[in-house]
Amino acid sequence: MQKINFNAGPAQLPPEVLHEAAQSVKQYKKTGMSVLELPHRGKEFLEILEESKTLVKKLCGIGHEYEVLWLQGGGRMQFCMIPMNFLLAGKNAGYIDSGHWSHEAAEYAMYYGNAQILASSQDSNYSRLPDWPQIPSDLAYLHVTTNNTICGTQWHSIPKTEVPLIADMSSDIFSAKTDYSRYPVFYAAVQKNLGAAGLALVVIRKDMLGKTPVILPPMLSYSMQAHENSILNTANVFGVYVSLLMLRWIDARGIDAIEKENIRKAALLYETIDNSTSFKAHVTEKAHRSLMNVCFTAVTTEVEQSFLAMCEKNNITGVKGHRSVGGLRVSLYNAVTYGQVEELVDLMKSV
Ligand code: PMP
């Protein structure tokens, strides 16, 4: 029996997507081959790649001025590639430290060059967003994490800046309307709203490609990856295919409808927590709360234990908080339904 899966990633995927992926593992279209066996330079995969790129641009409302890449190594590989490609000698990069992953992104950049944390909410255990700092106008780029998966905060709007804005959108891409054209570079590890773990979607404005140094090994160079259409080495054929199925699913629903549903789901859960005597929200500042990852604690360890046992008994999984912070976390990515959240809140009310 399929569980209700509230994990933060790898996360729940829509049943239709799982069904089609499973069929294609048996046989892809009428090729007589599994999708797992498709050659990465063959006609079928090139079609998958092209359609995925077209859909990403459509969903982002961007055009030919951008390149769409599917790169291996997940989110953390992008923590490496961004400074390697854009933090050139003599330049500084700025990082907004609003959570575990933004901190790690900054640390990775520090291995490579001069990266500075310009604002941080680490002292509040990331239970709020930091105040937006003054941004030096000569930065190579400013890096921001739009949704903080582990502590449950989200930037619902980001102030204008003059320097190139690079965003990690791993846990909220395609969850709500946003102006993607503000970002010359944005990326997302795909295992939340966009597919199977191991890949990252990277979207880069073409003028940024010209800034990358020529001395990088090709695998780590955005301009080489763009030049080779993300198939510089053997591509993750299955990963890109599952992401395409997710993109089709998102496109069929439309971002407007997805956003409305995500607001409804999060409102129901936060309201239940705020009105409860058993649970407390980690993020008290309502404007900073994430629609994707809802973090909270039980008032006592006994309440936490009995709630987790009830979840287990009722076929609900993935509600334990990240190992670094503890407590509870419920992830409400696009594939999670309102009905599933209702089932969860009914349990919470009965603790
Ligand atoms: N950024 C964010 C916002 C994340 O939530 C995560 C974790 N999935 C990562 C980066 C790191 O991704 P990966 O585990 O694929 O390296």
Average pLDDT on 203-210 reads 95
Average pLDDT on 274-280 reads 98
Give the residue with greater pLDDT, 260 vs 324. 260
State which of 78, 147, 150, 170 you would mutate to test the pocket of ligand 1, scoring each by most atoms of that ligand within 8 A of its C-beta: 170
pLDDT surpasses 80 at 1: no
- Tens-place pLDDT, residues 283-298: 999 999 999 999 999 9
Q: Please say which residue of 253, 273, 304 terminates a domain.
A: 253
Average pLDDT on 173-200 reads 97
Q: Both 337 and 203 in a single domain? A: no
SS (H, E, C) the chain: CCCEECCCCCCCCCHHHHHHHHHHHHCCCCCCCCHHHCCCCCHHHHHHHHHHHHHHHHHHCCCCCEEEEEEECHHHHHHHHHHHHHCCCCCEEEEEECCHHHHHHHHHHHHHCEEEEEEECHHHCCCCCCCCCCCCCCCCEEEEECEECCCCEECCCCCCCCCCEEEECCCCCCCCCCCHHHCCEEEEECCCCCCCCCEEEEEEEHHHHCCCCCCCCHHHCHHHHHHCCCCCCCCCHHHHHHHHHHHHHHHHHCHHHHHHHHHHHHHHHHHHHHCCCCEEECCCCHHHECCCEEEEEECCHHHHHHHHHHHHHCCEECCECCCCCCCEEEECCCCCCHHHHHHHHHHHHCC
Average pLDDT on 339-343 reads 98
Q: Both 147 and 267 in a single domain? A: no
Kindly report the average pLDDT of the chain as a whole number.
Answer: 97
Q: Give the model's confidence band at 2: pLDDT under 50 very low, under 70 low, under 90 confident, else very high.
A: confident
Whether 168 is catalytic is yes
pLDDT of residue 89: 82
The CATH number covering residue 309 comes to: 3.90.1150.10
Average pLDDT on 171-181 reads 98
pLDDT surpasses 90 at 103: yes
State which of 171, 194, 323, 329 you would mutate to test the pocket of ligand 1, scoring each by most atoms of that ligand within 8 A of its C-beta: 171
pTM (predicted TM-score): 0.98
Percentage with pLDDT > 90 across the chain: 95
Q: Are 226 and 212 in contact (CB under 8 A)?
A: no
Q: Which residues have any ligand 1 atom within 6 Å of their CB?
A: 9, 74-76, 101, 145, 149, 168, 170-171, 189
Whether 43 is catalytic is no
pLDDT of residue 341: 98
Q: Both 189 and 259 in a single domain? A: no
- Tens-place pLDDT, residues 110-161: 999 999 999 999 999 999 999 999 999 999 999 999 999 999 999 999 999 9
Q: CA 145, CA 102: separation in Å to the nearest integer? A: 6
Q: Which domain holds residue 328?
A: 254-350
pLDDT of residue 134: 97
Q: Both 95 and 173 in a single domain? A: yes
pLDDT of residue 347: 97
Q: Give the model's confidence band at 50: pLDDT under 50 very low, under 70 low, under 90 confident, else very high.
A: very high
User: Of the residues 70, 168, 172, 249, which is catalytic?
Assistant: 168
Q: Both 32 and 165 in a single domain? A: yes
Q: CA 32, CA 20: separation in Å to the nearest integer? A: 16
Q: Give the model's confidence band at 323: pLDDT under 50 very low, under 70 low, under 90 confident, else very high.
A: confident
pLDDT of residue 107: 98
Q: Both 181 and 237 in a single domain? A: yes
Q: Both 51 and 164 in a single domain? A: yes
User: Of the residues 101, 155, 172, 265, which is catalytic?
Assistant: 101
pLDDT of residue 127: 96
Measured from the CA of 169, which atom of ligand 1 is nearest? 3
Q: Give the model's confidence band at 213: pLDDT under 50 very low, under 70 low, under 90 confident, else very high.
A: confident
Residue having the nearest C-alpha atom to atom 2 of ligand 1: 170
Q: Please say which residue of 253, 285, 319 terminates a domain.
A: 253
Q: Both 81 and 182 in a single domain? A: yes
Number of domains in the chain: 2
pLDDT surpasses 90 at 84: yes
